Structures are given as C-alpha cells and as structure tokens.
C-alpha cells in the first residue's frame, strides 16, 4: 500500500541524536553525543527496596488508572521543593505532573499556539522542544544565543516583527545544547519584553539543580508578577530519566487547559513511577543524592575541560559550563563541521553537530555539542585527544 503521511509529519526528521545512537554499538565507540544522565547516578538499591514495598502495600493503587493532574502526594512534594529551592509557586499557580519535561513543553505549545503561530526560541535550542513545536505546526523564530543569554536587541526585533508570537521558549540555566547560563540582567529583560509584547514565557529548567560552580540565579518564574511564566521541570536528570516524570508549574487557568490536553495524550503519567518518586522523596535524602550528582559532574566537566585545554588547538573555542550536562565547541570557519563530525565518527568518537539544534533546519553551524555525563574519564581523555588530532589534521 502507498501511505499518505499527514502534512504535519511528512517533513519531520528523526532526531539527529537518536540516529547517532544507532552507530554506537561498535566496540570501542566513544559517545559524547548523548544527553543521558550518568548511569552511576541512579539510586538503584533504594529504588529496588521501595518498588518491593509499593507492590507489597499499594499494589492496586500502583496498577490502577489514576488522576491526570498527578499523584497528589507527589504534587505537594514538588510544589514544596520548588518553593524551597527556587522560591517559586504562588497561590495563583498550579502544578501538573507530566510524562517528562518533553510532554510539558509539547502541552504548553498545544494549549497556547494555533497552527501557523510563532514560537520564539534561543538559537540553538533543545531539539526535543523544537520538534514538538514543529509537530504542532508552529513557526519557530530563533534568536541568537550569546554567552550571557539570548540577544536582547534581536529578541525585541523578533517580537516586534512577529505579532503572532504566542510563546517564548527559553532554557536560562545550563542551556541545552550550549551549556550557557542567562545572566540576571537578561532574565529581567526577557521578562520585561514578554510583558511589553504580551507573550507567555515557557521557562525550561531540567538542569536547575545541577549547579557545580558559581552562584545560583533567580529563575524567570521568580520574577513573574503577572502570571505569564510556565515553568517546566523534570526528575530525569536528578533521579531517573526512564521514569519519565516531569512537571509544569504555571497559572491555574493555563494548567487547567494542560490537564485537558494531557487527558487526550496519555490520561496520566505512569502512576507506579509517580508513587516511587514520591516515596523516594519521603524516605531518602534527595538533597544528598543531588549533591552526589553535582560532585560527579563537577569532576567530569572539569576533566573534560582540562583535556580540551590540553589537546584542542587554540582555533577551537568552547564554553565553560557551571552546571548541567553539556559543553559547546566551535570550529574555525576553515573546517567543515559536517566533515569533522563524519571523520570523528570514522574514528569512533561521536558528537552532535550544531545543525541539529538550529531553529531554522536549513541553516549551517560551526559548533558541536559534547556531553560529559555518560563517558568514563578514560573515554573523555581518549576521545578529546582524537578530536584534537582531527582538528589539527583538518585545519
């Protein structure tokens, strides 16, 4: 049969990162491509014990349908944690548990944007979000990401030129892919411009608790005085990515619509894992666990930077993240990024080309993303040495 694929899906490409995963089975391959948390960061023994307790004491609840808004105890715990860690969540806000931050992003766009409406995003940005916006028929306008956050002048111009912009999507803290953090001044400016041009901000903060250097900054949600910020978070990077538990905090009126949209998608987030997550927070020391992850990434990021300083020629620049999972390298114009990524792959070192994160899919890039949470220290050293030699050969 000849299938007629919908207009919505016909031009959607598979995620470049998921495609790279397929090449990783080769023995000796070193991947700096993934966005996965470190395997050693999962609290396996606690999860095993709590899972057995759930099936001993709460089996029916864990196996039955549940409410769309989320497991009530978990919602309370997340609200309390957001108040305690970030000082956010007012009486006008509500919180829904979603199936990963990925679903929170998609539902936010679904609730706010008609097909053809514009979503403004940092350029480059998180590929999962960009693909969610594309799949809903939104137009994406990218605004250059500078070292201290989005280019404010360009943002204002983009808002002025796109009166149909409904959503401004930003990852102000340890951005994916660039690993950069938006300064406090720019956070205030972003909020001011969102007020001036009357758009909702979707603040995506899955890495917010993973700071391993520098000082915490207030979230944009914390600056929100008129209920225009939806705040998306996740347990993926602090507890388990496979549990698929995220959350969306925002104005009650918007969250009510998100609840309806989620009912259509998956009724509710996996209730067994919601209970597991909740009991973990009740019975274990979440703060101590997060501190261990921070220490691990401090060590790995620091070592990757040491290796870059040692092995990478000076013509390559790279970001120095203060948290999160990624750093972002930029090649000189004399080297073709796609040739470099291909040849790195032939040498069994996998990186993601910056083109994958472009808002405009046809645009070029000179940058590539490196992940330090997944590879071992030995792989980091070997892989960066290979990449450095390759630059020298190609320059």
Ligand X SMILES: Cc1ncc(COP(=O)(O)O)c(C=O)c1O
Give me the torsion for CA of 30, 36, 40, 44, rounded to 10°: -140
Binding positions for ligand X, 198-237, rule CB under 6 A: 204, 206, 234, 236
The span from the CA of 383 to the CA of 348, in Å, is: 9
Least Cβ distance, residue 329 to ligand X (angstroms): 18
Q: Which one, 173 or 316, has the nearer CB to ligand X? A: 173
SS3 track for 320-349 = CCCECCEEEEECCCCCCHHHHHHHHHHCCE
Least Cβ distance, residue 324 to ligand X (angstroms): 8
Q: Which one, 294 or 385, has the nearer CB to ligand X? A: 294
Q: Give yes or no for residue 128 binding ligand X (CB under 6 A).
A: yes
Least Cβ distance, residue 286 to ligand X (angstroms): 17
Q: Give yes or no for residue 102 binding ligand X (CB under 6 A).
A: yes
Range in contact with ligand X (rule: CB under 6 A) among 98-106, 254-262, 286-294, 344-352: 98-106
Per-residue CA distances from 141 to 138, 144, 202 (Å): 10, 10, 15
Of 71, 86, 126, 340, which lies in the binding site for ligand X, with binding defined by CB under 6 A?
126
Torsion sign over Cα 157, 160, 161, 165: positive
Binding positions for ligand X, 236-275, rule CB under 6 A: 236, 241, 246
**Binding map of ligand X across residues 156-185, x = CB under 6 A, - = no contact:** ---------------x----x---------
Least Cβ distance, residue 232 to ligand X (angstroms): 7
Residue nearest to ligand X (CB): 100
How many positions of this chain bind ligand X (CB under 6 A)? Answer: 14
Q: Which two tokens stand for residue 102?
A: 């990925």
Least Cβ distance, residue 208 to ligand X (angstroms): 10
Segments of the chain assigned E as strands: 30-31, 93-98, 118-123, 139-146, 149-150, 165-170, 200-204, 229-234, 246-251, 317-318, 326-330, 349-350, 352-353, 367-371
CB distance 374 to 368 below 8 Å: no
Q: Which one, 176 or 355, has the nearer CB to ligand X? A: 176
How wide is the angle at C-alpha 42 spanned by C-alphas 234 and 349, nearest 5°? 90
Range in contact with ligand X (rule: CB under 6 A) among 100-108, 144-152, 217-225, 306-314: 100-108
User: Considering only CA atoms, which of 12, 27, 49 is closest in space to residue 279?
Assistant: 49
Q: Report the helix count and the strand count for the chain, using DSSP H and E.
A: 14, 14
Q: Which one, 347 or 365, has the nearer CB to ligand X? A: 365
Least Cβ distance, residue 88 to ligand X (angstroms): 17
Q: Which one, 171 or 390, has the nearer CB to ligand X? A: 171
CB distance 390 to 340 below 8 Å: yes
Question: Residue numbers of the site for ligand X (CB under 6 A)?
Answer: 35, 100-102, 126, 128, 171, 176, 204, 206, 234, 236, 241, 246
């Amino acid at each position: 049969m000849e299938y007629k694929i919908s207009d919505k899906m016909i031009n959607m490409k598979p995620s470049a990162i998921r495609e790279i995963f397929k090449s990783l089975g080769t023995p000796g391959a070193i991947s700096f491509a993934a966005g996965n948390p470190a395997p050693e960061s999962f609290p396996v023994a606690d999860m095993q014990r709590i899972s057995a307790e759930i099936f001993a004491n709460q089996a029916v609840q864990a196996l039955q349908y549940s409410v769309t808004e989320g497991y009530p105890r978990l919602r309370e715990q997340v609200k309390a944690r957001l108040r305690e860690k970030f000082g956010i969540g007012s009486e006008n806000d509500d919180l829904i548990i979603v199936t990963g931050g990925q679903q929170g992003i998609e539902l936010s766009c679904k609730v706010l944007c008609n097909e053809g409406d514009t979503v403004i995003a940092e350029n480059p940005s998180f590929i999962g979000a960009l693909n969610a916006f594309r799949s809903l028929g939104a137009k994406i306008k990218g605004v250059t990401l500078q070292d201290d956050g989005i280019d404010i002048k360009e943002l204002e111009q983009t808002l002025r030129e796109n009166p149909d912009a409904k959503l401004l999507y930003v990852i102000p803290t340890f951005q994916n892919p660039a690993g950069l953090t938006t300064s406090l001044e720019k956070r205030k400016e972003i909020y001011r411009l969102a007020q001036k041009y009357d758009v909702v901000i979707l603040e995506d903060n899955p890495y917010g608790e993973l700071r391993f250097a520098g000082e915490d900054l207030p979230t944009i949600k914390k600056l929100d005085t008129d209920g225009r910020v939806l705040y998306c978070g996740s347990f993926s990077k602090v507890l388990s990515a496979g549990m698929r538990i995220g959350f969306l905090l925002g104005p009650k009126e918007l969250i009510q619509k998100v609840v309806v949209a989620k009912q259509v998608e998956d009724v509710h987030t996996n209730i067994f894992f919601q209970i597991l997550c909740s009991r973990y927070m009740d019975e274990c020391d979440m703060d101590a666990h997060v501190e261990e992850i921070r220490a691990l990434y401090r060590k790995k990021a620091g070592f990757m930077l040491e290796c870059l300083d040692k092995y990478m020629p000076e013509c390559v620049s790279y970001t120095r993240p203060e948290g999160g999972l990624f750093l972002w390298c930029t090649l000189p114009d004399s080297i073709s990024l796609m040739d470099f990524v291909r040849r790195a792959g032939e040498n069994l070192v996998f990186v993601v080309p910056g083109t994958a994160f472009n808002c405009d899919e046809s645009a070029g890039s000179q940058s590539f993303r490196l992940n330090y949470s997944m590879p071992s220290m030995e792989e980091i050293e070997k892989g960066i040495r290979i990449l450095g030699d390759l630059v020298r050969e190609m320059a």
